[in-house]
Structure 1
Amino acid sequence: MLATPVYIEKTAASFERTEEGFRLKEPDYKLLIPNATHRRRMSRMVRMGVATGLQCLGEPAVPADAILTATGLGCLADTEKFMNTILDCDEELLTPTAFIQSTFNTIGAQIALLTGNHGYNNTYVHRAFSLESALIDGALLLQEKDASSVLVGAVDEMTPTLRTILDRFGSRKKPEPGEGAAFFLLAARSSRESLAELRNIELFSGRFTPEEISERMEVFLIRNDVAEAQVVFPDEYKQYCGEYPTAMSFALWNACTGRQEVSQVVLLYNSFQDQHSFILIKKV
């Protein structure tokens, strides 16, 4: 729960639907990460997350007071690469690069290095609650006046190995597995650049019927003094981004940018493996 609203000033995202499924839409990295050495050392997910975060900050990039990143599964490709190297080398003569790049906080750290940011930097890895936890932390920093601007982002990737695992467990169903990256710049006060007011967030776990979810939504809206809101359900936005732990980031980006027409007040709902969340925003 948020004590007072905060505002989404800017946002950037990378999503694409292809014949092969949902993929990250990769930009021209040379424009965003000029240093070729840095680019070569970054994995695909790290490059994508860093590039999206820099796009959100704008050009020239103005460092935020804090950087918060979120991911459900982390840098899977680098983790797989490191584990395969352990097996291939019999646990000897291992290069640490793949391990360093596989850690969950790599994206936030790289953005901080490239923008000269020495402020608060944290990464949330709470499955489907990762983005929401980062947004709550960012809102608290703003409300307690520990920051005037906070960069919050979420990134998850799909790999061939993960697709194979999902197939074996029978977990690949509609919506199809996906991946994505989205960042949001939060501020304590509204401005002419504000896209939306982030009014509240609620997290809850368990198995619920559609009727029970509807009742919780009604109570949530009443508690926030909202008489009417457009509800955006998972099936409505995951058909464009696919299923992954931080798919709520696509829903939030989509609602803020107006890529899909929404009403003035929007209640975003996400459900992933018995983890449920509401995000209430008001367009400004």
Structure 2
Amino acid sequence: MKLAISNIAWTNEEEADVAAKLRELGVRYVEIAPTKRWDDPTKATPEQINEYVEWWRGYGIEIAAFQSMLFARPDLKMFESSELRDEMRQYLADFLRLAGDMGAGRLVFGSPKNRQRGAVSVEEADSIASRFFAELGDIAKQHNTMLCIEPNALQYNCDYVTTADEGARLVRTINSEGIGLHLDTACMALAGDDIGESIRNNGDILKHFHVSAPMLDRVYDRDDVDYRAAAGALKHIGYKGVVSIEMRPGEQGENVKRVVDAISFVQSVFEV
């Protein structure tokens, strides 16, 4: 397993201090929300892209994954109309190209509000989503990356693919080398999934993993998420991918310590 942490855990002003601390702690990978770096990441120039990649490499860190691609586009709805779906597909395709350019091997598709199905039946939603993601999977392969579907809990205003089993079923239906399953400790805990079983049952399609707490709270030794069950199951399946810490930032100036505390905990539990 390889340890990463998402850049949503700190402010842009704290990034250099965090990067230095990551290097000190032996963390060699970072996950990024591109919308935090650029207002419209799909329009970033080759020079801007290279500058940011090289900035992280200066600390011995590679960009391993993307998240929050649709953060700035709440208007894009998968199930509202074919026109919006086409626009959303093209927008995500641009992120797949960007990920390929930046060497990010995984993109996490969470975006619960962008995939609300509303009055659309589960059967119709499955049919639409399967075609939608299959096309994106083909594009992902062209750019040597992978789009990973994240089951998202009801508590995050999601009403489509809310459990690990539902996520796995969709990924298996799509059956694309460019599409994988992403699991998240908080989402599984909130959904009532058996964390260990969900991981063990899907080792063949599990391609990215988030260590998180409900509502993106701090990651530490807490009672509401069984991190040790996750760690044991990942070890059991021989998971070789990225385990990425995901949590929201605290107050300006306190996030370096929050990051250090979370990394120390995850390193001890997940042995990364």
Under a length normalisation based on structure 2, what TM-score does the superposition of the two structures give? 0.28
Q: Which is bigger in relative contact order (C-alpha 8 A, separation at least 6)?
A: 1
Query: Rg larger in 1 or in 2?
Result: 1
Structure with the bigger percentage of helix? 2
